[in-house]
Amino acid sequence: MSGPELTGGGRRVAVDHSLCGGTGHCQDIVPEVFRLDKVERRAKLRDDADLAEAASDRLARAEASCPWFAITFEREGER
């Protein structure tokens, strides 16, 4: 894993920057958690993201939609 992660509300989200291709699907699905860095062409976790408030189904869909498998989403007890 090469990148940041966020935890909160019994959840964990991480972006592996070594895999991310910058397609922005994650930002389209969960803009309150992800943003696309237009200079680096990589998904970033928003500094103001609150995982406790983000919908689990959309976080899971963002993970599944990533063509580079760069996003990891886990709920408490899934590790």
Provide the sign of the torsion angle of the four alpha carbons 20, 44, 51, 56, taken in this order: negative
pLDDT tens digits, 68-79: 999 999 998 776
Q: Structure pTM? A: 0.90
pLDDT in tens, 17-56: 999 999 999 999 999 999 999 899 999 999 999 999 999 9
> Which DSSP helix (H) or strand (E) runs through 66?
none
- The answer to whether 62 touches 25, Cβ cutoff 8 Å, is yes
Tokens of residue 40, six digits: 């680096």
CATH number of the domain encompassing residue 67: 3.30.70.20
Domain that holds residue 65: 5-75
Q: What is the number of structural domains in the chain?
A: 1
**CA 33/CA 13 separation, integer angstroms:** 9
Gap between the Cα atoms of 55 and 42, Å rounded = 22
